[in-house]
Structure 1
């Protein structure tokens, strides 16, 4: 896709600002109200509103159904209005937490085949006896590219008369011991409900750390308790620190946010020459350059990949939308930003080592983050919390950290180990606008805050800056970022107007769904909000349990012998890597980059068959079995990419 070249700061900022306009509600006659995102088309008639993406292959339909026996009956009735000839099989039905004024919310997903690359789901909403159903139906690639618009439109469907809580005119309470106890008790209850073994927690109020410690144990195999100094992998929370490194280098005069990347790192390339020359430093960090996620590119790569491979991968990637048009989160761009910073700080070193040294000397040491490291050997020893994930039967299991080693070549985007105590020091810096906990100026206020300037919109009242999210919930401004790796999920929050911050680190995949409820509970405690957080956790726990059961029921374990025996021993995809199929203790296993696990098989709705890795954890490899030109193939897909592997001789 062609795109304009950005040669000046003014044009870059103009494009970034263009996507900040808030779409208006669309409503006509008796059609339901929905936000119509910019550039989306709208069709309305009695009882039905449909917004369609510019690509023409993704709809969000809102149907006022009226009374129905239950959520499934309401959804079936909605499909009859929206697409009466559609034939879809319900795969999963789960309760969702009540919000936006609805008395009941139920999520429904429908079965699709991998080759369809389709997104098909419904959200049934009840107010009193009347149901409204939101259907998302269409291309997975478009849903991914336009995720912000999808969130805006879907979340705009609110119950009649609903008025969200607004704390903008209230003064936050201080985090007294009693209120700290409420937060710690919530974390403990949520961890128990979600079967999370351990949680690191820190709370900051008016510049001081008022609590740091932990809940639970480091590992199901080790009763040692989590404390403030227990190391977790913090994943993409690393991004904000990498952008902090660049802020310091801007202060030092070594770069400018609106400087061309090729001026600083001449070997940098991104697609075409015009795109390369138009890429400014800020674009490496803004998630606004039209580059889709390409995480499977490094998941499938060999783990000894050098840091420089980040730049090779970017040179072979082209944006799918114009700069500043859409939110698309790309880890390779963030990794490149960190490595450019390292190369400027220590130009005579290998870029990975230069980045590690720059982060240690310019950020970790000044902030007294003594337990924060990119070194896996150091991170995985002593007081550390190993990752946990659900096995194929839904049981919480201690996992190897092998998979997460695959992030090391891309570590500026998410490869650090840290602790609740160390992360509290970082959040103190964010709240103090650039001062270390002992009051020294580490970075100018101007360049610290530049990272928070609102760029592309992500969802309603959520924007991405440069490695940070700037959000507003219930009238409360929040600066934040989260992190996700296999078995590790975490977040930090800074509430600048309240002078309050928090860090929450978990060592289980199920911990992911306690992070947003934790923010809700923090706001409830600070502003005496309605108690909703725990109901969100309970709904998430029910959803996880249902998802686990459906996943298990859809798999043939240990796999169809005819399919497994028909696999080649080795496959290869040029520029990506290799796949090995082998026997291990009488089971058929797969090894592909960071994936190493036993295999199951699954029959797809379109008659194809897939092999599926069934090791513990939320990340699983699925490949469609096939042939091409007489050679056996495996085809892997994410929302915007297809990875084709062919058997080797």
Structure 2
């Protein structure tokens, strides 16, 4: 699962990176596509200031003087590379770029944030423009400075298209390099052993990052050449008691469950009970995805490749999951879903498909047994117990009865605040996609197995190397030199292959990184919404320590902390928490949507509050550029959803904009 991207802190992941705005409030539509020639293959082309870029795959391209315009196949979104000879700052460069890319552009700047260091550039920032949510679009500039000149990527167009083609833009953006730049590479270089000195250096880095990012606790482990050389905790698992994290403290590992689910499937492939390349309906005849033609195309590997063109469909489980929601809800929702792009065309992350994969394995192992119970037992018997993952569990009840880390977020004032753990119950019916809990110790055992390609410490095999490695096959690119496999990613970092996968639920962000060529891996588990930034920086610090790389990780953390501060400042300036009784009456009432279920807006003691089946939050009012008003959730963990207050069919309505889908909650009586 990845709640951070479902909340509104990400625009095009990897372009703007976390904390730039992917809004329900979005930007202007692009002009219709002009006739253009197809984009060539992976050959870099020159743009403006001498920089080069590999065009986004499938997009048309057209030169307009010094500008290069890329237009999405749908024709309603564009990315224009604009050279700017000089500018006062990033804001000025962004405004100049949009004036050239689309004359008459008049959007006001909403927020400019620094970006982490990018290879070859002196400075980088992302500028988002203020756009009413009703327009369902995005306007954003990626601003890169080299000396006194700037290269700007002016991105504008339909939210649905830019969300769908996000990875294509990210791949292209990652290849945008200044003239004459040569990337850092450690390909073929011998790695250092991760000895005690390097372990201490990593711990010092993590401690510093925790302080800057206001993260209460970390579970950390390091493995080197078949051994756990460090496992432990930093910080606290509970701010109220000050109890420290240790090697056995449990954190939700969220989407790291996906790779474990595909490991379960790999055991079945080894047994001849499953084939990655056979239709899902061969093993589960009742499986449906959209229409019959689409259903017939879905092979087992497609459930976990993020390559079928099925967009995220997370709002239903986030808003409308109850304790009685059955595991079969995964298949009910998939049957009502349809891909928005072709198989293998683009990376589109989908939790329901991964959930279905785990339950498919459970069905084959224990036919006739309730899917959830069958999955839990299969994972315990085939994965957790053989790997020696002694405390790992799929039960929230079991996890929170023992040694566990409480989840935290930054509140609207930037202070660390506890998240209601009940929000994380929403994943239970879909747990093969993100419901596991684990510790630094247990995750280190998992990483050891990945590095030893399925061989257990006692010499026996959990799974064949062939089928363990099948999970790493490159299916679709997520970014330049980064591919999604089956519940795992392969990222080439400075010429070195790093296998990993992240996880994100409310108040929990985690990742693990394995470097097969160095036989080294690290585990980073956090109990904070800010943990994403630490995990990514930790992977860079690992590379620096292994290969004497340039010290970039510390700058990544400093930039992330600044991004968070700017986000908090912007939220406080935009959101009105002091709502009068007269204003509140415009919104108080009962609303409902078929997929999202009921939502009630109440008012007491000067505070608006929203409550759905499985999530709840205080609300603030946000005035949009077109004069409309949105109700924004602001409680820790649940912040970032925006409901546009409007009318539909003569009734009051609240509209929630998911990137590729609109949910209308109509006022109800009673």
Establish whether residue 260 from structure 1 lines up as the match of residue 279 from structure 2. Answer: yes
> Aligned equivalents of 1:114 and 1:294: distance in 2?
19
> Aligned equivalents of 1:29 and 1:324: distance in 2?
32
Give the equivalent residue in structure 1 for 2:224: 205
> Aligned equivalents of 2:76 and 2:396: distance in 1?
44
Establish whether residue 401 from structure 1 lines up as the match of residue 421 from structure 2. Answer: yes
Contact 1:89–1:111, Cα closer than 8 Å, also in 2: yes
> Aligned equivalents of 1:424 and 1:28: distance in 2?
45
User: 1:187-206 CA distances to partner (integer Å, 9 max, x unpaired)?
Assistant: 11111111100011000100
Alignment map for 1:171-190 (pairs within 5 Å):
171-190=190-209
> Aligned equivalents of 2:68 and 2:358: distance in 1?
44
- Long gaps (5+) in structure 2: 1-39
1:326–1:97: structure 2 CA closer, same or farther, 3 Å change rule? Answer: closer
Alignment map for 1:475-624 (pairs within 5 Å):
475-559=495-579, 561-583=581-603, 587-617=607-637, 619-624=639-644
Contact 2:262–2:471, Cα closer than 8 Å, also in 1: yes
Contact 2:616–2:638, Cα closer than 8 Å, also in 1: no
Which moved further from structure 2: 117-126 or 348-357? 117-126
Q: Displacement of 1:274 after TM fit?
A: 1.1
Q: Displacement of 1:148 after TM fit?
A: 1.4
User: 1:232-262 CA distances to partner (integer Å, 9 max, x unpaired)?
Assistant: 0001010000000000011122111112111
Of the three residues 258, 263, 270, the one matched with 1:244 is 263
Q: Displacement of 1:566 after TM fit?
A: 2.2
Give the equivalent residue in structure 1 for 2:15: none
Q: Displacement of 1:165 after TM fit?
A: 0.7
Alignment map for 1:424-503 (pairs within 5 Å):
424-503=444-523
Question: Alignment partner of 2:156: what SS?
Answer: strand
1:203–1:388: structure 2 CA closer, same or farther, 3 Å change rule? Answer: same
Establish whether residue 360 from structure 1 lines up as the match of residue 380 from structure 2. Answer: yes
Give the equivalent residue in structure 2 for 1:69: 88
Q: Displacement of 1:560 after TM fit?
A: 5.3
Contact 1:75–1:124, Cα closer than 8 Å, also in 2: yes
Alignment map for 1:329-340 (pairs within 5 Å):
329-340=349-360
Of the three residues 404, 422, 425, the one matched with 1:384 is 404
Contact 2:50–2:179, Cα closer than 8 Å, also in 1: no
Establish whether residue 161 from structure 1 lines up as the match of residue 180 from structure 2. Answer: yes
Give the equivalent residue in structure 1 for 2:326: 306
Give the equivalent residue in structure 1 for 2:36: none
Give the equivalent residue in structure 2 for 1:141: 160
1:527–1:32: structure 2 CA closer, same or farther, 3 Å change rule? Answer: closer
> Aligned equivalents of 1:22 and 1:502: distance in 2?
36
User: 1:408-448 CA distances to partner (integer Å, 9 max, x unpaired)?
Assistant: 11100001111010011111110000012333211011111
User: 1:121-165 CA distances to partner (integer Å, 9 max, x unpaired)?
Assistant: 112221112222121111111111111111022222212221111
1:31–1:139: structure 2 CA closer, same or farther, 3 Å change rule? Answer: farther
Q: How many residues align?
A: 629
Q: Displacement of 1:584 after TM fit?
A: 5.3
Of the three residues 339, 344, 364, the one matched with 1:319 is 339
RMSD: 1.6
Establish whether residue 195 from structure 1 lines up as the match of residue 207 from structure 2. Answer: no
Contact 1:107–1:122, Cα closer than 8 Å, also in 2: yes
> Aligned equivalents of 1:493 and 1:158: distance in 2?
26
Give the equivalent residue in structure 2 for 1:13: none
- TM-score of the two chains, using structure 1 as the length reference: 0.94
> Aligned equivalents of 2:50 and 2:248: distance in 1?
55
User: 1:329-363 CA distances to partner (integer Å, 9 max, x unpaired)?
Assistant: 00000000001111111112100111011001111
Contact 1:509–1:618, Cα closer than 8 Å, also in 2: no
> Aligned equivalents of 1:187 and 1:298: distance in 2?
33
Which moved further from structure 2: 329-338 or 37-46? 37-46
Give the equivalent residue in structure 2 for 1:418: 438
Of the three residues 614, 638, 642, the one matched with 2:658 is 638
Contact 2:588–2:603, Cα closer than 8 Å, also in 1: no
User: 1:508-534 CA distances to partner (integer Å, 9 max, x unpaired)?
Assistant: 111111111111100000000011100
Of the three residues 102, 105, 118, the one matched with 2:124 is 105
> Aligned equivalents of 2:49 and 2:93: distance in 1?
18
Q: Displacement of 1:94 after TM fit?
A: 1.8
- TM-score of the two chains, using structure 2 as the length reference: 0.91
User: 1:377-434 CA distances to partner (integer Å, 9 max, x unpaired)?
Assistant: 1111221111100111111112221111111111000011110100111111100000
Question: Alignment partner of 1:481: what SS?
Answer: strand
Establish whether residue 116 from structure 1 lines up as the match of residue 135 from structure 2. Answer: yes
Q: Displacement of 1:587 after TM fit?
A: 2.9
Contact 2:140–2:155, Cα closer than 8 Å, also in 1: yes
Contact 1:31–1:45, Cα closer than 8 Å, also in 2: no
Give the equivalent residue in structure 2 for 1:226: 245
> Aligned equivalents of 2:220 and 2:166: distance in 1?
30
> Aligned equivalents of 2:510 and 2:365: distance in 1?
29
Establish whether residue 628 from structure 1 lines up as the match of residue 666 from structure 2. Answer: no
Of the three residues 105, 125, 130, the one matched with 2:149 is 130
Contact 1:386–1:400, Cα closer than 8 Å, also in 2: no
> Aligned equivalents of 1:355 and 1:559: distance in 2?
47
User: 1:31-80 CA distances to partner (integer Å, 9 max, x unpaired)?
Assistant: 75322122211122443111111111111111111122222222222122
Alignment map for 1:12-31 (pairs within 5 Å):
23-27=42-46
Contact 1:31–1:47, Cα closer than 8 Å, also in 2: no
- Long gaps (5+) in structure 1: 1-20
Of the three residues 77, 85, 91, the one matched with 1:58 is 77
Question: Alignment partner of 1:49: what SS?
Answer: strand
Contact 2:56–2:171, Cα closer than 8 Å, also in 1: yes
Alignment map for 1:265-304 (pairs within 5 Å):
265-304=284-323
Question: Alignment partner of 1:493: what SS?
Answer: strand
Which moved further from structure 2: 62-71 or 498-507? 62-71
Q: Displacement of 1:586 after TM fit?
A: 5.5
Contact 1:59–1:136, Cα closer than 8 Å, also in 2: yes
Q: Displacement of 1:619 after TM fit?
A: 4.2
